[in-house]
């Protein structure tokens, strides 16, 4: 979150030159808490370098989390390279955070030290607008506070810093409970990729017997396949690449349609109830609309950096098709997703990497060379510089 762009402006990753650990305050100066080892960018060209974060001391409603794992999301790459604009450096990315509670504030009763918890893309919101009151914090009318790169609502002048780090302090209202039965590393990607696909599936009330189409088979797409299957749907993966057919079937897809094959697309006419489109590059949606039944819907989750081919309204009108977008999920819905995943044994397919592999992982992520999500083991981060005076 926000969804990945199609093409990075700078596909060559920045060189990874070690620099002296740098102090970043991510809380008010009056309430410095612990030091955290972190990896972040100090400029658009710095790549990821070791940094020392000063996390705020837990306030009454805060939960301090010792981070174990953090998923690598496409958004992280765009943010650290400043490709979406608005990046303030230094920046520590990461919004697929899993760890254990290390301390809680005096007003926290629902979490205790030792609990396994998660933090997704949202660490604060206005809590007053209609969206917030409806549990749709991602659509907060006053702007949600992102887990990294957001302006901290507490003081209005510090920038939130994410999960490529050994600890984080988050208000209890934005902390998720991670079921003990799930592998904590493989849970991490559920906090962004998982809920981003779960939310439209739930919004459409997908149930046993529905047919769900999934377009694109990356971090988001592979979660869409698993979640739709767990909801009892028949899953059809649409792909332009024949080489992805075995992988799609392995993930549990019932059928794979090569969208470049006109005969196959014709055969899929009026066969699908809902399409989850995860592709972040411009592509023609009209052939996909023709695979939908009456009252079908297509949810677009990827945000291309260039214009999409025009949508033909006739395709929508003739079958009362809805063309929609969707952004991550609210806090309550994210918890519902985690509990659903525990009930159905769903986690992401991951490759765990250490801090020294981040550069390579970013290259491979941009090239689509990962099945299907990298997860950073935060125990590999460099220890913070104890000499830093906080």
Supply the minimum distance, in Å, between the C-beta of residue 196 and Zn ion. Answer: 7
Residue 326 token pair: 């969707």
Residue 132 binds to Zn ion (criterion: CB under 5 A): yes
Binds Zn ion by CB under 5 A, chosen from 46, 125, 147, 161: 125
Q: Does 75 bind Zn ion (CB under 5 A)?
A: yes
Q: Name residue, tokens 């790169």.
A: 149
Identified binder of Zn ion from the candidate list 6, 23, 57, 129, rule CB under 5 A: 129
Cα distance between residue 376 and residue 378, in whole Å? 6
Cβ at position 331, least distance to Zn ion in Å:
12
Between 27 and 163, name the residue whose CB sits nearer to Zn ion: 163
Q: Which two tokens stand for residue 73?
A: 């999301």
Q: Which is nearer to Zn ion, 291 or 335 (CB)?
A: 335
> Where do we find the tokens 């025009």?
310
Binding mask 138-177 toward Zn ion (x if CB under 5 A, else -) reads --x-------------------------------------
In the complex, the smallest distance separating the C-beta of residue 125 from Zn ion, rounded to whole angstroms, is 5
If 0-12 CB within 10 Å is exposed, 13-18 middle and 19+ buried, where does residue 85 land?
A: exposed
By CB under 5 A, the residues from 173 to 192 that bind Zn ion are 192
* Interface positions, 1-60, toward Zn ion (CB under 5 A): 1
Distance CA 90, CA 172 (A): 26
Q: Which is nearer to Zn ion, 46 or 197 (CB)?
A: 197
Q: What is the DSSP string of 2-48?
A: PPPPSS-S--SPPP-------EEE-S-GGGEEEEEEEEEBSSTTS-S
Nearest approach, Cβ of 275 to Zn ion (angstroms)? 21
According to the binding rule CB under 5 A, does residue 303 interact with Zn ion?
no
Helix (H, G, I), strand (E, B) or coil at 196: helix
CB of 309 to Zn ion, least distance (A): 26
Q: How far is the CB of 306 from Zn ion (least distance, A)?
A: 21
Task: Check if the beta carbon of residue 381 is closer than 8 Å to that of residue 14.
Answer: no
Q: How far is the CB of 1 from Zn ion (least distance, A)?
A: 5
Yes or no: say if 285 and 298 are a contact pair by the CB < 8 Å rule: yes
Binding segment (CB under 5 A) for Zn ion, from list 34-42, 73-81, 302-310, 362-370:
73-81
Sheet containing 211-215: order of strands: 255-258, 234-239, 211-215, 272-277, 292-300, 322-325
Binding site for Zn ion (CB under 5 A): 1, 73, 75, 125-126, 129, 132, 140, 192
């Amino acid at each position: 979150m926000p969804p990945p762009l199609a093409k990075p402006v700078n596909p060559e990753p920045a060189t990874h030159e070690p620099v002296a650990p740098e102090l970043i305050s991510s809380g008010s100066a009056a309430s410095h808490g612990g030091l955290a080892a972190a990896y972040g960018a100090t400029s658009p060209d710095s790549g990821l370098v070791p940094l020392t974060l000063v996390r705020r001391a837990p306030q009454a409603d805060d939960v301090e989390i010792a981070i174990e794992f953090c998923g690598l999301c496409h958004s992280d790459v765009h943010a650290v390279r400043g490709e979406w604009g608005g990046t303030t450096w230094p920046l520590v990315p990461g919004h697929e955070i899993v760890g254990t509670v290390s301390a809680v504030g005096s007003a926290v009763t629902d979490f205790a030290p030792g609990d396994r918890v998660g933090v997704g893309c949202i660490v604060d919101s206005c809590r007053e607008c209609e969206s917030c009151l409806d549990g749709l914090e991602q659509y907060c009318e006053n702007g949600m506070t992102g887990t990294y790169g957001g302006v901290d609502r507490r003081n209005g002048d510090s920038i939130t810093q994410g999960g490529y780090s050994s600890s984080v302090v988050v208000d209890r209202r934005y902390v998720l409970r991670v079921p003990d039965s799930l592998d904590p590393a493989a849970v991490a990607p559920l906090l962004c990729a998982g809920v981003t696909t779960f939310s439209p599936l739930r919004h459409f009330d997908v149930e046993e017997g529905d047919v769900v189409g999934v377009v694109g088979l990356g971090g988001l797409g592979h979660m869409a396949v698993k979640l739709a299957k767990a909801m009892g749907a028949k899953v059809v993966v649409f792909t332009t690449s024949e080489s992805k057919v075995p992988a799609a079937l392995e993930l549990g897809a019932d059928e794979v349609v090569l969208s470049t094959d006109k005969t196959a697309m014709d055969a899929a006419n009026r066969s699908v109830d809902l399409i989850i489109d995860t592709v972040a590059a411009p592509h023609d949606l009209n052939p996909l609309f023709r695979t939908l039944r009456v009252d079908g819907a297509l949810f677009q989750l990827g945000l291309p950096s260039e214009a999409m081919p025009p949508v033909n309204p006739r395709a929508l009108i003739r079958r009362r098709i809805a063309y929609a977008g969707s952004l991550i999920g609210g806090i309550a819905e994210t918890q519902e997703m985690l509990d659903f995943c525990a009930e159905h044994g769903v986690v992401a397919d991951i490759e765990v990497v250490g801090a020294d592999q981040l550069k390579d992982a970013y290259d491979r992520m941009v090239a689509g060379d990962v099945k299907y999500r990298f997860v950073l083991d935060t125990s590999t981060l460099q220890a913070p510089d104890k000499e830093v005076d906080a």
